[in-house]
Structure 1
Amino acid sequence: MIKRSLMRLRYVSLFAVLTACTTVAPQGPVQTPPKPTTTTSPPAAESSSSPTAVDAPSASAPLPANATFDDWKQSFIAKAAAKGFAPEFTAQVLSDVKPQAAVTSSDSQQPEFSKPASSYMRAAVSASRAAAARARLDANPNVAEIVANSGVPAELLGGIWTMESDLGRVQGNIDVVSALATLAYNGRRRDWAESELIACLKILRDSGIGRETLKGSWAGAMGQTQFLPDNYLTLGVDGDHDGKVDIWNSDSDALASSANLLAKAGWKPGQEWAVEVILPVGFDYYLAETTKKTPAEWAELGVKRADGGYWKPAETGEQATILLPSGAKGPAFVALPNHYVIRKYNNSTAYALAVGLIADLIAGRSPPVTPWPVEPPLSLNQRMKTQEALKAAGFDPGAIDGVIGIGTRQAIRDWQRANHMTADGYLSFDLANQFVVMRGGAAEAR
């Protein structure tokens, strides 16, 4: 039933875009501030392996070195007063708030081990998860309207919903006010955290929502599709028409809000998010990730769709990139603009791929034909030594922080090319050990 339903939704979605295309403008819920802020997690550095990259600090005027948490509270109460919130109200909201050690730890620590993309995909993407999402979507009487209003396909919303909270099952139980207050006091992203706290004050003052409802992740994301407080205020939608926006308990409200966010982030109806491709023998892997070409231009280089199909007319003129989440030995994808819209939700290549692959399964499409390679996780030592070795060799990876983001991958790619290796930019376990040895360390055991 869902298959027929999703086909019908796609036609409805296309009609909605033709009749309301002027409403689509960029932005999405997590991680990149350029357009209207639409992200479900704080501003962060991109990671290719899993969406756990440590967030990049934003510039904030520091409190005095010896400032206490109460000093920060008084400073914030004054800032909130300048935004129209009575000092008594803000003080009451913060009265029971104390710094949360777990939040500080989550914000500041790099994971000791980082899953490779292949392990992440095997854990996140499964037929059973897709079937569960399909059943929930099929049973929801408001999904057709949500798709028609936003142009975002139902299966993609199901992928987001699955990845963000396992269809509402895991929403986080941390007091969001306390989490954001802790992040603000710690100072690494004070401006951002305080702006989200201001949004919390507005929710509590104006929306009829109690403090006990504002539960979520350590980074302040709330509800079934993990919205930050400001996104809740600006992008939340009453999807079930009961007069309130309840992203915690209403499937329809959570889905409609996410659809609104993705539409405003620039979702292009009628186009895929990415397509698995087969790369020709002798392909120049150095072109991956940073080089943009149209699908036709990639085809001229011998790149073929793995499904043997054809590009949609709307896709042929789009700029697209080749993604190699597991390097030359794993699946390759041509990422279309909608892939980067998904990354407004969480700026991780692996996250966006997982969302898209779950969506494909929900819609009845096939999983990748190229199997994911099996590799052990990388230790923090391996990741740090990799960056140190690259920098010492004259290939700047950016910050030496253990985050294997786009800067480090480009440095790896440049180093590989200079050393006559396959320049896929992928940090395999063996390559990481090679960098460890270059820094005078001992290779780690698998």
Structure 2
Amino acid sequence: MRLRYVSLFAVLTACTTVAPQGPVQTPPKPTTTTSPPAAESSSSPTAVDAPSASAPLPANATFDDWKQSFIAKAAAKGFAPEFTAQVLSDVKPQAAVTSSDSQQPEFSKPASSYMRAAVSASRAAAARARLDANPNVAEIVANSGVPAELLGGIWTMESDLGRVQGNIDVVSALATLAYNGRRRDWAESELIACLKILRDSGIGRETLKGSWAGAMGQTQFLPDNYLTLGVDGDHDGKVDIWNSDSDALASSANLLAKAGWKPGQEWAVEVILPVGFDYYLAETTKKTPAEWAELGVKRADGGYWKPAETGEQATILLPSGAKGPAFVALPNHYVIRKYNNSTAYALAVGLIADLIAGRSPPVTPWPVEPPLSLNQRMKTQEALKAAGFDPGAIDGVIGIGTRQAIRDWQRANHMTADGYLSFDLANQFVVMRGGAAEAR
């Protein structure tokens, strides 16, 4: 979940993965239905004078000013100022974190390129072997209801089965994000969770390594998620999501279970759309599988819906537009997106899980497409807004608002209204803004 990817189905996120350039999640991540931890009880009297915890930080504040402000806030949560000051003693703003937090990628791969690189038989086989060799997986699945193959998909996408977990000091990363101010409240709440981990969990500072956004371990948990959702999957008395496969998998299973995973149901099913299908319905309309079938939508595998699935409200997704595979997304797809709110990420996790379970890859091949430049994406948004189809912020992020604006513009211009920004369509918008079309 750490890579940078902006396409039809991507939102900015942050996490660690060795998959090809892909979804990067904007904190907070993972999102769950659980509430934040209660304020920590006092471990020692406050012994150091510090600014009021409620005093606002001046616009021209230095990093040391921020440190003193945070020390006071932590004291109000029960942490001795000396302890917090010691944790922050060697912390300095990290330029790489600031850059990652604010930088838009100059080029972004389309979903088709991302899927071809992220989802492979070799990655699925490696995950299956690790899952089969783990003596705790059966118990984790039984306790959570989350299938092993889905956990394998998460594990693969998050850290390549633990191989790449990120090597940035999480305390420094979160302190930088807090000082920068764009998400100060969130970053400071995660720093409070770091203090609790260091004070109460027997975890050393050297262990708190992860992504620039603070995600840690083999399945990339934020500090607060570690505290509230971490599980001792190997029953050794501690939750070690960095070194214990079982702890990482059990923790992820717990997150997904609490986010509403429905045992016995699929995450999505590839479908074949009929000739003349109204593509405007994709991503905008929910229907039961039976209702989609009445419109001529058929399962690509020729199979049948499970009884528990027949009454579910489902959405059709077109990650590569009308020319690529189509999927009926069931509620479990959106549970995966509680882990990382990117459709591309959730599809990759699910498709890897299908391969782990021995199911076939999509019948419809992924198209071959060139990447979109930042200029193409921003000119698209500018052209849509000028034409009266508001995409939201002109930021180069092709999110829900921009896709809906594209879909409405396509329908108004008697085109296939799939909401997909292809390379050729992006060039058309560039020309509409008076620019020159970009070469493939």
Q: One fold, TM greater than 0.5?
A: yes
CA drift at 1:66: 1.2
The answer on whether the counterparts of 1:276 and 1:306 sit within 8 Å (CA) in structure 2 is yes
The answer on whether the counterparts of 2:8 and 2:320 sit within 8 Å (CA) in structure 1 is no
The answer on whether the counterparts of 2:159 and 2:220 sit within 8 Å (CA) in structure 1 is yes
Change (3 A) 1:184 1:90: same
CA drift at 1:44: 24
The answer on whether the counterparts of 2:8 and 2:403 sit within 8 Å (CA) in structure 1 is no
Change (3 A) 1:8 1:81: closer
CA drift at 1:65: 2.1
Equivalent position to 1:275, from 263, 269, 277 = 269
Superposition pairs for residues 368-379 of structure 1, below 5 Å? 368-379=362-373
User: Partner of 2:409 in structure 1?
Assistant: 415
- 1:260 paired to 2:237: no
Stretches of structure 1 that go unaligned for 5 or more consecutive residues are 1-6
Aligned mates of 1:92, 1:284 — CA distance in 2: 61
- 1:148 paired to 2:146: no
Q: Count residues with an aligned counterpart.
A: 440
Aligned mates of 1:275, 1:352 — CA distance in 2: 13
- 1:307 paired to 2:301: yes
Stretches of structure 2 that go unaligned for 5 or more consecutive residues are none
Change (3 A) 1:416 1:57: farther
The answer on whether the counterparts of 1:27 and 1:344 sit within 8 Å (CA) in structure 2 is no
CA drift at 1:242: 0.3
- 1:233 paired to 2:227: yes
The answer on whether the counterparts of 1:306 and 1:369 sit within 8 Å (CA) in structure 2 is yes
Aligned mates of 2:54, 2:246 — CA distance in 1: 37
User: Partner of 1:342 in structure 2?
Assistant: 336
Deviations 1:67-88 (A, max 9, x none): 1000111111111111111111
Aligned mates of 2:263, 2:369 — CA distance in 1: 36
Deviations 1:153-212 (A, max 9, x none): 000000000000000000000000000000000001001000000000000000000000
- Structure 1 window deviating more from structure 2 (25-34 vs 149-158): it is 25-34
Aligned mates of 1:241, 1:248 — CA distance in 2: 15
Q: The residue matched to 2:174 in structure 1 has which SS? A: helix
The answer on whether the counterparts of 2:13 and 2:25 sit within 8 Å (CA) in structure 1 is no
Aligned mates of 1:361, 1:137 — CA distance in 2: 13
User: Partner of 2:30 in structure 1?
Assistant: 36
The answer on whether the counterparts of 1:28 and 1:264 sit within 8 Å (CA) in structure 2 is no
Runs (4+) of structure 1 moved beyond 2 Å? 7-63
TM-score between the two structures when normalised by the length of structure 2:
0.89
CA drift at 1:26: 30
Change (3 A) 1:116 1:190: same
The answer on whether the counterparts of 1:380 and 1:402 sit within 8 Å (CA) in structure 2 is yes
Aligned mates of 2:388, 2:154 — CA distance in 1: 40
The answer on whether the counterparts of 2:5 and 2:12 sit within 8 Å (CA) in structure 1 is no
Aligned mates of 2:22, 2:112 — CA distance in 1: 26
Deviations 1:125-176 (A, max 9, x none): 0000000000000000000000000000000000000000000000000000
Change (3 A) 1:417 1:244: same
Aligned mates of 2:4, 2:303 — CA distance in 1: 19
Alpha-carbon RMSD: 10.1
CA drift at 1:290: 1.7
The answer on whether the counterparts of 2:71 and 2:85 sit within 8 Å (CA) in structure 1 is yes
Change (3 A) 1:441 1:429: same
Deviations 1:287-308 (A, max 9, x none): 0012100000000000000000
CA drift at 1:61: 9.5
The answer on whether the counterparts of 2:168 and 2:209 sit within 8 Å (CA) in structure 1 is yes
CA drift at 1:43: 17
Give identity over the alignment, percent. Answer: 100
TM-score between the two structures when normalised by the length of structure 1:
0.88
Superposition pairs for residues 152-163 of structure 1, below 5 Å? 152-163=146-157
Q: The residue matched to 1:437 in structure 2 has which SS? A: helix
The answer on whether the counterparts of 1:276 and 1:368 sit within 8 Å (CA) in structure 2 is yes
Change (3 A) 1:144 1:112: same
The answer on whether the counterparts of 1:54 and 1:109 sit within 8 Å (CA) in structure 2 is no
- Structure 1 window deviating more from structure 2 (34-43 vs 301-310): it is 34-43
CA drift at 1:30: 10
The answer on whether the counterparts of 1:49 and 1:114 sit within 8 Å (CA) in structure 2 is no
User: Partner of 1:170 in structure 2?
Assistant: 164
Q: The residue matched to 2:172 in structure 1 has which SS? A: helix
CA drift at 1:54: 38
Change (3 A) 1:262 1:133: same
Deviations 1:385-444 (A, max 9, x none): 000100111101011111001110000000000000000000000000000111111100
CA drift at 1:64: 1.8
The answer on whether the counterparts of 1:53 and 1:403 sit within 8 Å (CA) in structure 2 is no
Aligned mates of 1:79, 1:100 — CA distance in 2: 22
Aligned mates of 1:102, 1:58 — CA distance in 2: 30
Deviations 1:99-120 (A, max 9, x none): 0000000000011111100000
Change (3 A) 1:48 1:306: farther
